Amino acid sequence: MTGAQILIECLKREGVDVMFGYPGGVVLPIFDVLYDAKLKFILTRHEQGAAHAADGYARATGKVGVCLSTSGPGATNLVTGIANAYMDSIPMVAITGQVKTNLIGNDAFQESDVTGITRPVTKHNYLVKDIKDLARTIREAFYIASTGRPGPVVIDLPVDVQTSKTEFIWPEEIRIRSYQPTLEGHPGQIKKAAKMIEKAKKPILYVGGGVISSGASEQLKALAEKNQLPVTTTFMGIGAFPGEHALCLGMLGMHGTAYANHAIMDSDLIIAVGARFDDRVTGRIDAFAPGAKIIHIDIDPTSISKNIRVDVPIVGDAKEVLRDLIGYIKKSPDTKMWLGQIEKWRKEFPLSYKHDDKLRPQFVIEKIRELTGGDAIIATEVGQNQMWSCLFYQHNQPRTWISSGGLGTMGFGLPAAIGAQIGRPEKVVFDIAGDGSIQMNIQELATAVFNKLPVKIAILNNGYLGMVRQWQELFYKKRYSATPLQNPDFVKLAEAYGAKGLRVTTKEGVVPALKEALATDNVVMIDFVVEPEENVFPMVPAGEALNRMLGGMA
């Protein structure tokens, strides 16, 4: 078989049914094989879109997302998408074409050092120089991407390796001597954690994306309910625990709910699961949760004691560790008083916004939630649109929240929504966008329309790069430098791409437009012209302690 045939055969055997990408000179042999292959190929309109679509697909399905590009600019265009997946620990395999092996290093046409460029933003990467290594490399790439702490793996494939021939041997077993993730937690450590939970007076579960990638939502719910432990999630952990659950405090951190932040700051025991104490969560690190002992469960040892000193580290897979932990807790702690205190905070500092006759972005998101029963997949762009989405769309299911966390990539939402819609065709998929970020990958409207992927795009159009404007308002004396936007006519733009375009300028218009969108079996882009200077509150200014929130409530 040729290298290109081996590649496609391996992808099939890995269970890949769709990939996203863009053709070019040095990947022609692969595209020629794809022409006859029973493998869905989605042509995006930009390689960045392909990487984000593969990422969105992976988040929505839990499977490895696959993208493909040519060498040089094709590969460099993937890089933002790869970095995005890396920061959020998303399993992805990115295949890039490369110039002929004998030209590598010669500054050949469309050559770039892809393994060099992607090294800091991948879990691992490969340059395959010998066709005999190809099948094993692909197998390893999928194994590495999807196990341990997941992440993107790049395979750089020179064109002459694609065209040369060898006997195809499928490596049934894969064993990498230098890579063996720890799955089971240390029983002694878990017992210690169980004892601490039994004795805690003000415990709190702080859960992140690790719970979702491990598929540990059931175990988390059992642990929380059985022991009456309140739960706050990170941005990446949204959906890991039902948003409407009485024990759920929503998100914590810079734009977290006031009650989640008060609860974590005042707690005496933090049980961190699959979360990494990043700066947006902890605020000022030396002021973070001063009275709390910390149990930290994570599959990645480097996440433990990186930012914050941990009392009981447990390296292992969240699902297995939580299952064991539940078994070791003999007596549930008495958290009645503590939950009462949290309820007081919830009443005192509710999540709110001004209810008047103006069209406010939070209202739009509340209505999207109402009309979809909290059951839609919500992708977002980055900025205010994203923060309002995490606060006002309470997700009940894991893998329904598709948003760029660690890297904060504007332009992620639309292609990611496309990937999610392909992975979950039965679901309603929304991209909640800002008028700034939607324009960063607007070309993917074509991908959605021509592949009949009926994603709904809700643009919260405030005529600004809203989050930057908010910071300028609060910290730069309202000097709105480079943040006011002049926008195209989004309705006409949607129509030009063959999508449906709607515009809403009043509160009354929101529900009818959303209903029309949901009843339309096509891409619909709704331009919600909202209050221009609405801010995301609560907010902890960067570098401040978590309980020093700017309120700004109605």
Partner 1 sequence: MKHTISILVENKFGVLARVAGLFSARGYNIDSLTVSETQDSTISRMTVVVNAEDEKILEQIKKQLNKLIDVITVIDFTKKEYIERELIFVKIAVDKSDLARLKKIAAKAKADILEKKEDFCIIELVADRDHINNFLGQLKDFKLVELVRSGRIAIAK
Where on the chain is the footprint of partner 1 (CB under 8 A)? 115-116, 119-120, 123-124, 127, 144, 176-179, 300-302, 305-306, 309
Question: What amino acid occupies position 324?
Answer: D
Taking the complex as a whole, the smallest distance from the CB of residue 129 to partner 1 amounts, in Å, to 9
- Complex with partner 1: residue 176 or 542, whichever CB lies closer: 176
| Closer residue to partner 1 in complex, CB, 140/160 | 140
Q: Tell me the three-class secondary structure of 170-226, residue by residue.
A: CCCCCCCCCCCCCCCCCHHHHHHHHHHHHHCCCEEEEECHHHHHHCCHHHHHHHHHH
- The CB-of-489 to partner 1 minimum distance in angstroms stands at 44
Residue closest to 28 by CA, chosen among 46, 47, 3: 3
Q: How far is the CB of 115 from partner 1 (least distance, A)?
A: 6
Residue 127 or 390 with smaller CB distance to partner 1: 127
Minimum CB separation of residue 120 from partner 1 in Å reads: 5
Q: CB-wise, 8 or 141, nearer to partner 1?
A: 141
In the complex, least distance from residue 182 CB atom to partner 1, rounded to whole angstroms: 11
Nearer residue to partner 1 within complex by CB, 148 or 209: 148
Selection from 292, 353, 389, 409 nearest residue 537 by Cα: 353
Q: Which residues contact 512 (CB under 8 A, 6 or more apart)?
A: none
Minimum Å gap between C-beta 273 and partner 1 is 19
**Shorter beta-carbon distance to partner 1: residue 153 or 459:** 153
- Distance, in Å, from the CA atom of 548 to the CA atom of 554, rounded to the nearest integer, reads 18
To partner 1, the closest distance from the beta carbon of 144 in angstroms equals 6
CB of 146 to partner 1, least distance (A): 14
112, 171 contact by CB (below 8 A): no
Strands 401-402 and 524-529: unpaired
Shortest distance (Å) from residue 301 CB to partner 1: 5
Determine the distance from the C-alpha atom of residue 155 to the mean position of all C-alpha atoms in its chain, rounded to a whole number: 22
Minimum CB–partner distance for residue 422 and partner 1 (Å): 29
Please report, to the nearest 10 degrees, the dihedral formed by the alpha carbons of residues 431, 432, 434, 436 taken in order: -20
Ordered alpha helix ranges (H), 349-453: 361-372, 384-392, 413-423, 444-450
**Among 292, 266, 283, 148, which residue's Cα sits nearest to residue 210?**
148
Please give the Cα distance from 387 to 401 (Å, whole number).
12
Sign of dihedral through CA atoms 396, 399, 404, 407?
positive
CA distances from 20 to 45, 140, 520 (A): 10, 20, 25
CB of 15 to partner 1, least distance (A): 22
Q: In this structure, is the dihedral angle defined by the CA atoms of residues 486, 492, 497 and 501, taken in order, positive or negative?
A: positive
Type and span of the H or E element at 140? helix 134-146
- What are the strands, taking DSSP E only, across 289-329? 293-298, 312-315
Alpha-carbon distance values, 303 to 149, 268, 314, 445 (Å): 10, 21, 11, 38
Residue placing its CB nearer to partner 1 in the complex, 76 or 305: 305
Least separation in angstroms between residue 274's CB and partner 1 is 16
Q: 120 or 340: whose CB is closer to partner 1? A: 120
Nearer to partner 1, 148 or 253 (CB): 148
Which is closer to partner 1, CB of 153 or CB of 207?
153
Rank residues 310 and 514 by Cβ distance to partner 1 and give the closer one: 310
Three-class secondary structure assignment of 240-264: CCCCCCCCEEEECCCCCCHHHHHHH
Nearer CB in complex with partner 1: 164/307: 307
> Where are the alpha helices (H) located in 102-133, listed in sequence order?
114-118
Nearest to 119 by CA among 161, 70, 159, 86: 86
How many C-beta atoms surround the C-beta of residue 506 within 10 A?
10
Strands 18-21 and 40-43 come out as parallel
